[in-house]
Chains A and B, each alone.
Chain A
Amino acid sequence: MNGTPRHPERTVLRLARPYLNRLVGAGLLAAGTEFAGLALMATATWLLMSAAGRPPLDRLTVAIVAVRALAISRGVLRYTERLAGHDAVLRLITDVRARVFATLAARPAPRQRAGDALSRLVSDVEAVQDLLLRVLVPAAAAVLVSAVAVGGAALVSPAAAGALAVGLLVAGVALPALATALTRRAGAELAPLRGALATDAVDLTHGAADLAAFGATGYALHAARERAGRLARLERRLAATGFAVDAAGVLLSGLTAGAVVLTALAAGVDGVLVGVLAVGTLAAVEIALALVGAARQWTGLRTGLARVAALLAETPAAPAGGGAGVEPGPHAVRFEEVTVRYRDGAAPALDGFSLDLPPGRRVAVVGPSGAGKSTLAAVLTGTVRPQGGRVTLDGRELSAYRGEELPRAVGGLLAEAYVFHASVRENLLLGRPGAGDDELAAATAAAGLLDWVRAQPAGWETVVGEEGGQLSGGQRQRLALARALLAAPGVLVLDEPTEGLDPAAADAVLRSTLAATPAGHSVLLISHRLLGLTELDEILVLDAGRITQRGRHADLVEAPGWYRDQWLLQEAAERGYLALAP
């Protein structure tokens, strides 16, 4: 992370470069619209007041035509301006959304919370949209038209133009600055409460069952209600000061008009032109007051913009910049004295771990939790880099391969596999895009989920709930396993593949999984269930990051040690269960 860029607006503008022509066009159209409105009121007043002097009609013809033209062009200009502006900005937003996701995707490990990410894409990205549409374009138009108005007034009376300029400066600079300060203070007070309320919403929805079972729903609700009430009180208080600026704006437009009339009359300006100046002033100040709204918007957007800019400033790691590609099919993996420490001074999660995993070899890693089993999987899949030793794939270090390519060689079912809110098919295709129904069926059958899929009315198109919520724990696990089998990397990592399944199902699934693994593909199976490991080529017992025992099941079960103790314990308990089955 490069930290927060000091001028998030610049980042946005850099991104907007491809659409700059459209944006400048929209700004000019906006200025044109505002100017047409101002000119319309001024001309109409001139027309009417001149008519009072009963001139011949032909002296008014030009003004009459001008009024008609201005009236119609104002509407048309506004329409084209809005369409052009929105089109440009929405195109930019599509870029931003994709880039934000790409940046998150390129990060080694996402540390942010899900709720934050949601607000990041949906609202922070819209901050970019609002910055351009509601701040930059209208502000540019207001400044442009104000300058033209002062220039026009100066042609009639420099003194009146001076009064107008003062009014416009207050409306366009002082009031927006005040509004910015007030909005900033309000935002600083509101943000933490809003965030806390969002967390409350997540806890009350996702934790609904836990809260209900422990009778804590009332308590949590009370806390959330309290917070919602505090937020409401704060919002009310802030509104009172915030709207004072709007009131000042109205007052200012009246005072400026009054001052312009007085100075113009004092300077002996013709009565008709005094009227034109007065009406024009009211219109001009109102246009300048748009800057107050823009300033408010801008202040409210800054935090979101800064977050987006910080994200976008992280250049996603070059996807293709060097690194070797990976061929599908068998691969050889070697761990050489691999040591991993998550924090300085902490006990190593892996401590001088060595293992040879040639093509076709099937190895199980067992051991108590915290022994380093999942770290081993993380090192093998490249998500954790060892501090000592090296891991090679076909003789080259893992880091020499492109990050995107590595999963084709090494991967599978990792801890906390995620099931997406999508159809069963879409979830499976993540493993192998473009797989046909036969391939899906084979992998799903091996994971023992095919019967369930066939029983669903929608079959492969059955949509599984958020985080796979419509599935039972076992079904979720089977779906994730089927996805891993479909991916069929040369080195298949299976981190607790039968977690959440009962013993009979666990045995069946493990057997069919190993059978479904193509010949020549190697397997690294992580498990704390020791039964069903008889067919594996080697079993490693890991404890505190070190290998304490290794060998085939038949040997290990004969030798005294952790493996034998655990195996006896598990087998006894399980045989008891099996004997009970009718």
Chain B
Amino acid sequence: MNRRPFDPRLLRRVPAARRDLAVLALLGVLAAGLVVAQATTLAALLATGFEGRVDRPALAGFVATVAARALLIWAQGTVSARVAATVKATLRTELLGAVGRHGPGWVAGQRAGQLATLTGRGLDALDAYFTGYLPQLVLSVTVPLAVLARIFLADWSSALIIAVTLPLIPIFGALLGWQAQAATERQWRRLSRLGGHFLDMVAGLPTLRAFGRARAQTEVVRRMADGHRVATMKTLRIAFLSALVLELVATLSVALVAVPVGVRLLGGGLALQTALLVLLLTPEAYLPLRAAGARFHASMEGLAALDEALTLSARAPEPPRREGAAAVPDGRGEIRFESVTVEYERTTALRDVSLTIRPGERIAVIGPSGAGKSTLLGLLLGFVTPTVGRVTVGGVDLADADLDAWRRQLAWVPQRAHLFAASVADNIRLGAPGTPDAALAPAVRDAALDEVVAGLPDGLATVLGERGHGLSSGQRQRVALARAFLRDAPVVLLDEPTARLDTASETVVLAATRRLVTGRTALLVAHRPALLADADRILRVEHGRVTELTPAPVGEAAR
């Protein structure tokens, strides 16, 4: 696939950068004028210097143009850095926003490490593109035109040779560049994979050690790195070769111009000042095109990241769930699954499930692992949408519902809660960031978290590492429980809440769970029998089908 040096989606997706991009183009025009002015004054200075005297106005003009160029370089750099910063900030926000918008199911399929690489280092590669390549791209249009015009005025025959040879640069560049482009793209993919692979290896180091494989795995890392080297050298050989060819083309073209100029100078048919002007300006005509070509390779990483970011953040527009004001389901209403089937890529998680949950009912869900229990909760959370059938709450189809408003009426304790690199208190008040510390105490107590907190160096204010580093899995689960307690929602979804607690603390948590589910609708996935005692009904999920283990209440038997 051929990628353009400027992605037009950028203008549409990052409107804030439009004005600065226009300024950048204008500065490019000014820069071209100054290149011509500097060469003209220098030629005059040297021509008079040849006669042994100083042309004071030319000297002043030369210094003035140099000063103006300095100012322009500064402006170009500053403006292009502004563009880079704006674009990066916008794309970062959009990428992370896409993760939030598309929901957890979308992220699970994507390699999270890859996304992290992209939002961090990947997008920083745009700096090289915007501050290095893009201004050069503008110059590669404006400078050759200005130089051609100036030389045409001074010596039209030289201008003619330049006009004929100049297109050779982009032609050769394109011929050689395509190869390099494909190769760089492959290399970028490899690099992200290497990043993901290493993260995986380091995260699994304790396991590698436990099998005595940590050192042996070093060989795997070396192999991956060596593969990276071989692939990179392959790319570079082509990329550098194209630079060499372009340089030779430019050099030969300059020679084509210079030889007749020299001959005419020898024959007295040309003034020295004109000859010097042609000599000084001609290389300038070829330089920006080559420089842009050279930097194109260097900035391809940025372009690849840009493409990935724009594609990722744009893919799959939000499902059209906005017809007027989206309906808000009432958590105190009846929850119905109507012939729901959920199919994933590889498996069918639920088959034709019909189910009614009355307000205030406590329902336990049991079944072998992988049977579809978590999918049942995922449907209610709105993470999973039915392939066939629908889920309604108080008569409102969740597919049309305002999911945020619905989730506000839910408290959820997942199997593996994600803890954030923030204080324990902030992790608990995830759903209600404004909650004062003092108001957390009951939730902390109810989740049997108080003894854990007491053992932490700064209590509730203790800041956890990335992904909750610093707490054991049982302790993390209690934080998740505390989150749910604080939520105080009419519907509670618990996915194995006590899976990581031993019997002693399980008793404590169970007592609190009982308090939590009182007066609320609760759906409890359970392996531990201790959780079943209080359930009004017990459902068994097996092979994607749901069966009732308790006699259905009278009203439901008719269905």
Contacts and interface: CB of A to CB of B under 8 A. Distances in A.
B357 interface: no
B237 interface: yes
A122 to B, nearest CB: 5
Contact of B415 (A98, A238, A242, A473): A473
Interface in B160-215: 191, 194-215
B52 A105 contact: no
B49 A212 contact: no
B272 interface: yes
Given A208-B104, A261-B45, A203 B421 contact: yes
A278 B42 contact: yes
B339 interface: no
Contact of B194 (A102, A122, A209, A408): A122
Interface size class of B (residues with CB under 8 A): 35 or more
B485 interface: no
Given A78-B244, A98-B218, A247-B70, A206 B467 contact: yes
A454 interface: no
Interface in A21-63: 44-45, 47-49, 51-52, 54, 57
A261 to B, nearest CB: 6
Contacts of A502: 366-369, 527
Given A262-B59, A577-B529, 20 more contacts: A75-B247, A105-B217, A109-B206, A115-B116, A122-B191, A201-B96, A201-B120, A202-B421, A214-B483, A218-B404, A220-B420, A236-B85, A251-B70, A254-B70, A258-B63, A265-B49, A407-B209, A412-B210, A487-B211, A502-B367
A466 interface: yes
B243 interface: yes
Contact of A114 (B59, B92, B467): B467
18 contacts: A105-B205, A105-B217, A114-B467, A199-B466, A205-B115, A212-B100, A213-B412, A235-B85, A254-B70, A261-B59, A271-B49, A274-B50, A278-B46, A500-B415, A503-B527, A506-B527, A576-B529, A582-B547
A430 B85 contact: no
Contacts of B412: 210, 213-214
A528 B84 contact: no
A97 B78 contact: no
A123 B121 contact: yes
B51 A271 contact: yes
Contacts of B366: 502, 577
B358 to A, nearest CB: 20
A110 B369 contact: no
Given A115-B116, A258-B62, A430-B211, A76 B218 contact: no
A83 B108 CA distance: 41
Contacts of A212: 100, 103-104, 381-383, 407
A118 interface: yes
A91 interface: yes
A580 B549 CA distance: 6
A93 interface: yes
Nearest to B484: A214
Contacts of B388: none
B436 interface: no
A573 B532 contact: yes
Nearest to B119: A201
B86 interface: yes
B420 to A, nearest CB: 5
Contacts of A368: 502-505
B529 A274 contact: no
B418 A576 contact: no
Contact of A117 (B92, B198, B232): B198
A211 B433 CA distance: 12
A210 B219 CA distance: 37
A204 B483 contact: no
A473 B501 CA distance: 15
B333 interface: no
A101 B212 contact: no
Interface string A195-238: 00111111111111111111111111100110011011101101
B67 interface: yes
A262 to B, nearest CB: 7
Given A48-B275, A573-B530, A243 B74 contact: yes
A430 B418 contact: no
Given A261-B45, A418-B204, A207 B418 contact: yes
B469 interface: yes
Interface centre among A78, A271, A416, A419 (most CB of B within 10 A): A271
A559 interface: no
B265 A118 contact: no
B314 interface: no
A499 B415 CA distance: 12
Interface string B112-141: 110111011100100000010000000000
Interface string A374-408: 00000001010000000000000000000111111
A538 interface: no
B23 interface: no
A119 interface: yes
Nearest to B205: A110
B209 A105 contact: yes
Interface stretch (B3-11, B142-150, B221-229, B437-445): B221-229
A253 interface: yes
A51 B86 contact: no
B201 A87 contact: no
A138 B200 CA distance: 36
A174 interface: no
Contacts of B119: 197-198, 201
B430 interface: yes
A457 B251 contact: no
Interface string B521-544: 000000111101100001010000
Contact of B92 (A78, A228, A275, A576): A228
A87 B240 CA distance: 13
B346 interface: yes
B284 interface: no
Contacts of A201: 96, 115-116, 119-120
A324 interface: no
Complex A-B, nearest 10 residue pairs according to Cβ-Cβ distance, in ascending order: A474-B369, A254-B66, A243-B77, A239-B81, A407-B212, A209-B104, A207-B418, A214-B431, A573-B529, A271-B50
Interface stretch (B255-263, B303-311, B315-323, B391-399): B255-263
Contacts of A466: 111-113, 196, 200
Given A98-B222, A368-B505, A573-B529, A255 B243 contact: no
A86 B530 contact: no
Contact of B49 (A48, A123, A274, A573): A274
Contact of A381 (B191, B210, B431): B210
B515 interface: no
Contacts of B199: 114-115, 117-118
B189 to A, nearest CB: 14
Interface string B347-359: 0000000000000
A465 B100 contact: no
B69 interface: yes
Given A75-B247, A211-B430, A243-B81, A204 B49 contact: no
Contacts of B466: 113-115, 199, 202-203
A505 B367 CA distance: 10
A255 B63 contact: yes
Contacts of A469: 108
Contacts of A499: 499-500
Interface in B358-412: 366-370, 374, 381-383, 404, 407-408, 410, 412
A369 B502 contact: yes
A224 B225 contact: no
A105 B215 contact: yes
Contact of A119 (B78, B120, B265): B120
A408 B211 CA distance: 7
Given A204-B100, A417-B207, A570-B529, A369 B504 contact: yes
A416 B82 contact: no
